[in-house]
Amino acid sequence: MYQTKITNPILPGFNPDPYILKVEDTYYIAVSSFEWLPGVRVYQSKDLVNWEHETDILTNQIDLRGNPQNGSIWAPQLSYSEGLFFLVYTDVKSTIRPFKDSHNYLISAPSINGPWSAPVYLNSSGFDPSLFHDTDGRKWLLNEIWDYRIETGNKSVGVVLQEYDVEKQSLVGSVYKIFDGTELAKTEAPHIYRHNDYYYLITAEGGTGSGHSVTVCRAKELTGPYELDPLYPMLTASDKPQSPLQCSGHGSIVQTPMGNWYMAYLCTRPLMGKAAILGRETAIQEVYWTDDGWLRFVDGGNGPLVETEIITAEPVVQRKNTNFRDDFTGILDKEWNSLRILADESWCDFTSREGYLRVISGDSIQSLFEHHILAIRQKDFQFTASTKIAYTPKTYNQMAGLLLYLNDRNYLYAYLTYDENKGRVLRLMKCSDGEFTLSPDIISTEEGEVELKIEVNGPVGSFHYRMGDKSIWLELGEPQDLLFLAGGFTGNFVGIAVHDMDRKAGSYADFAYFEYLGLDSK
């Protein structure tokens, strides 16, 4: 056996709410995708050290148009039983307090790559569902339960359990309230594991912000009563302000063939100690079972670690390569995501112009319905991203370009558009917490293709452009403070888009390439 040194996070950038699972010789981690499609990103590994994006599960099963910011697909959980993968997830349709419309579904497949079944509706009493397969063959659904009657902003009041009948494809029997939570409150993300003589319930508490924690309790019977770990919380950074990893919680565990146990959990890396511009990421640490049957980290503490070790069967070196390039040669790379609607031939194709991706215009940049954007996760504090565009706008309502995008209220957009006095021009717009500003710079462009580039160095970003065969990049507008793109809940994306507010599908742009170069580890 070998001790392999790694650095957390193992999944940098927007990869929240991890659930870890081992099937045969492969480990999987599924993460939340919120309003980005395809939904539920899955990574796989053979050694827990190096992870590769394997697939995204939710493709044609869902409709997210109109879903609110920070809603949609929350906290997916993978399980495996009798030759089938099971996935349960929440589709959040509204987050306006005091209510929360959170619908839970189940799908299954013989392989992690599908084909996945049609969704089975489960319930709507609360989010973060988890499916437990007991040793007697029965299956049980857990979820957080929401109570609109309580006065606090977060209205999570514990965990409920109900049996799932595979034949009937529905929940059956009594609903059991198995955990009320602790004074940390905001109890969610419940997972049950059977170990030795106990059922162990692992939950997230304290909210997904600075108070985030992992709490463990156990019971002799599945339905309880559950005994609370006397040293809870098992994991938290709430009392460790100097830790580079914050907001740690939402844990799940896995055992290796060598007998070691590990917990995957979410964390953030606040930029300048202020803002988690990369969103919530995924980390991992080794845990063990004490003689009296509780989970503890092997380092002896209860906090997240940037540097830690994984026990491997063979020598392994951790690799982190966040670079990405797509030359649009005939198939859209699986790294891409789109907002609320899938990227399909109805609005982006490779056949209209060989060697280019043609994107047909959608709604405005703030649309919750038909926003035609293709973007990838920002995974580095320092990076450059560039693209080349062929676009002929006819009015100021037509635009195409390169953007940094957190959500419909927070974005930066360098774009080609039309000006009545100057013809085709380059402009820069910004929206920060819903407050829109338009840069006064209006740059006339030559005919032909235009290249755009964004350079990001921590909290500052600057856009650049060049035209024709020129090699010199020119600055577009002033350097921008990017801390407003740190939402903490989701992470920032960088991508390309086309918009037209004059008419639907009123214009199109052809993109020659897109390239992202991560500079953090260079």
User: pLDDT tens-digit profile of 169-180?
Assistant: 999 999 999 999
CA 245 to CA 248: how far, in whole Å?
7
Residue 522 pLDDT more than 60? no
Phi, psi of 304 (to 5 degrees): -75, 150
How many other C-beta atoms lie within 10 A of the C-beta of residue 521? 12
**β-pair type (493-500, 398-407):** antiparallel
pTM of the model: 0.97
**To the nearest whole percent, how much of the chain has pLDDT over 70?**
99
CB contact set of 236 (below 8 Å; sequence gap of 6+): 206, 211, 212, 213, 214, 248, 249, 302, 303
Residue 65 pLDDT more than 70? yes
Which residues carry out catalysis?
17, 188
CB contact set of 105 (below 8 Å; sequence gap of 6+): 61, 88, 89, 90, 91, 119, 120, 121, 122
Arithmetic mean of pLDDT, 385-414? 98
Q: 142 with 161: CB under 8 angstroms?
A: yes
Mean pLDDT of the chain: 96
Whole-angstrom CA distances from 186 to 268, 474, 512 are 18, 49, 47
Helices and strands (H and E) in the chain: how many: 0, 40
Task: Specify the pLDDT at position 40.
Answer: 98
Whole-angstrom CA distances from 51 to 89, 353, 472 are 22, 35, 37
Arithmetic mean of pLDDT, 148-175? 96
Task: Specify the pLDDT at position 520.
Answer: 86
